[in-house]
Amino acid sequence: MKKFTIVLSILIIPLVMSAQKWERTYGQPNYKEWANDVIEFYDKGYYILGSTEDMEWNFKTGINGDTLYNKFLFHNLYIHRDLSSVIDENGNLYICGTIILDDAWPIVAKYDSCGQKVWCRVFVDDSFDDGVGMDLLLTENGNIIVLVTHDSDDQIDQILLYCLNNNGNLLWTESYASKNDHPEIAHAVAFNLYYYNNSYFIDGYCYWPYPGNPNHVYLKPLFIKIDSLFNEEWILPFGVPDSIVGEAYGTIPLNDTVYFGIGVRRSSATFNQNSLLMFFNEQGEEIGYNQIPNSDFGENVDFNTMWNIVKVNDTSFITKFYIGMNDTVFHGETVIDTSGTIHILKNQGPGNGTADLIKTSDNNYLEVTEVYESKGDKDIWLFKFDENLESVPFDTNTYVYDSLCPYPIQSGTIDITDCFIWTNIEDTPSPEEYYASLKTIPIKAYPNPSTEGQVTFEFQNTEYLSPPLIPPQGGKQPHLVIYNVLGEKVHEERVYQYQGKGVVDVNGWRKGMYVAVVYSEGLPVGNCKFVIE
């Protein structure tokens, strides 16, 4: 994509501290706090994942950033870090991150609408050296998809998705950008997981050889596309023909066929790096890229990096940036277009960290990051602004927070010492195997043998059956059929979506063996044998 020749003036706005500016700082003096993630709650409040030097520190604020409560996560032996969160329609909160046992391992937890822990899972897989839960999403049926980056000496499988159900049970796992499918790849790392246009996207980086030089690999921005059944469609190590060295930190769709990624292009010098805009289509083909020079951010800038991107409209985007200037790292926001032209730039002063940036329901923007205190300590900083990067006024409306909880939520400590450690991950099916199993209806009969007048049949997976058709279509409707030992049909009845049990009166049936079969779409999908004595 060719960069536009029109150059707009750059608006640089210095950090101004005033009572009217929508910004909040959280933390203790002379202490280090980190920020990892921010999400908007159903009640217009904000939930921030943070850390202190001692433990994980998550907190909830109102719409104007006033602290509602603090939650400190405690483990009696290990260090824990939360990295990403998502909330469901019932106010349940799901969080993933990492916990240090002997090594670092992914951790996933569910908290109810009152902030109490429902369950917690740690995934230890001895086929890897370590692992981190980087990001997570909820599917339409309420499953949790967790993006995990693993490390291992052989680097065969490093980027994985874990699927858990609402009860914390591991349903399936699958690897992506695997050496088994892409022998050239090395040291693949994922940062973010997205759901766009009925597909999943992952960004991060990998090492990949230049054309004609298979013995040497170089750092490349990496994009991965996965279909709705979690099959890998393609991977894109970006910029191989152009010798680009760098990483990808964000992905959004420009339209139904073109995607826009941001990241950084590095040179051989450790801190000589520039923001990179990358464009590719839904087939995983590169369209072009634009690199933003240091001079676009001001004089004496040594490096620049963009992290996170939010779409304002079809031609305008907001990003978070970091720049190096006079041996100090500064942070701020930009409004850019796809050519890489900076239309508005606001330097917020010294600060650093892998910030999070979201668009809020009131059509404003909210970021969380870290700002420096004196002597190298730092605090968590929250800033809310409009599409022109101007601080928004405080909201004067009255809100009722945490209405899905029947009692006021108090600050406190959550003990995660009893997290269940999942170690048999190698026995987990793939998505293909798991979704194939959902087409079956396992059934069990009891009492078996039966000496009573009734037999109860217990069904599994009926939630995945189609709802009743009106008008009925004969044998295509799910139904239970019972045959005697001679193969004669002795009983038949409907099986309904979400039905867990069925009771059949067997009074007067002959003694002997019977076979119960569940049919769906005219095909047998489950069976069991039982005996009447």
Q: What is the pLDDT of residue 485?
A: 87
Distance in angstroms between the alpha carbons of the first and the last residue of the chain: 78
Q: Please state, in angstroms and rounded to a whole number, the distance separating the CA atoms of residues 238 and 346.
A: 29
CA atoms lying within 13 Å on the CB side of residue 529: 5
CA angle, residues 499, 512, 445, in degrees to nearest 5: 20
Q: Summarize pLDDT for 37-84 with one digit per residue, the tens.
A: 999 999 999 999 998 887 889 999 999 999 999 999 877 667 778 899
Question: Backbone phi, then psi, for 211, in 5-degree steps?
Answer: -60, 130
All structural domains of the chain, each given as residue ranges with its CATH number in brackets, are 12-427 (2.130.10.150), 438-532 (2.60.40.1930)
Q: How far apart are CA 452 and CA 287, in angstroms?
A: 71
pLDDT at 13: 29
DSSP for 128-147 reads SSEEEEEEEEE-TTS-EEEE
pLDDT for 293: 94
CB-facing half-sphere around the CA of 320: CA atoms within 13 A = 24
Site of tokens 């291992």: 152
Collapse the DSSP code of 109 into the 3-class scheme (helix H, G, I; strand E, B; otherwise coil) and give the result: strand
At residue 412's C-alpha, the angle toward residues 411 and 418, to 5°, is 145
Distance in angstroms (rounded) separating the CA atoms of residues 329 and 384: 21
Q: Distance between CA atoms of 176 and 496, rounded to whole angstroms?
A: 37
Max intra-chain CA distance, the chain? 94
Short-list 137, 126, 118, 236, CA closest to 196: 137
The pLDDT score that the predictor gives to residue 464 is 79
Write phi, then psi, for 436 (nearest 5 degrees): -65, -35
Q: What is the DSSP letter of 526?
A: E
Token pair belonging to 171 = 């349903």
The number of residues in the chain equals: 533
Mean pLDDT (10-residue bins), the chain, 533 residues: 29 37 91 93 96 89 97 78 93 94 90 96 92 95 95 93 95 97 96 96 95 86 97 97 93 95 81 90 97 94 93 94 90 95 94 86 95 84 96 95 96 89 90 86 92 90 67 63 91 91 93 92 88 93
pLDDT tens digits for range 105-124? 999 999 999 999 999 999 99
CA angle 383, 132, 29 (to 5 degrees): 40
Query: Is 492 within 8 Å of 482 (Cβ atoms)?
Result: yes
Q: Which residues are CB-neighbours of 370 under 8 A, at least 6 positions away?
A: 33, 34, 35, 351, 352, 353, 355, 378, 379, 380, 381
Residue 493 CA neighbour count, 13 Å, CB half = 11
- Whole-Å CA distances, 223 to 11, 203, 286, 470: 32, 5, 11, 44
Q: Which two tokens stand for residue 402?
A: 């945490």
Q: Give the dihedral sign, CA 326/328/332/337.
A: positive
Confidence at residue 268, expressed as pLDDT on a 0 to 100 scale? 60
Q: Report the Cα 67 to chain-centroid distance in Å.
A: 25
pTM beyond 0.75, yes or no? yes
Measured distance CA(477)–CA(212) in Å, rounded? 58
Buried b (16+ CB within 10 A) or exposed e, 167-184: ebebbbbbbbbbbeebee
Say which amino acid occupies 329.
V
**Sign of the CA dihedral with 485 first, then 487, 492, and 495 last:** positive
Which of these, 165, 176, 151, 24, lies nearest to 108 by C-alpha position?
A: 165
- The DSSP code for 115 is S
- The CA distance from 255 to 102, in Å, is 45
**CA gap 338, 262 in Å, rounded:** 10
Between β-strands 56-61 and 67-74, what pairing exists: parallel, antiparallel or unpaired? antiparallel
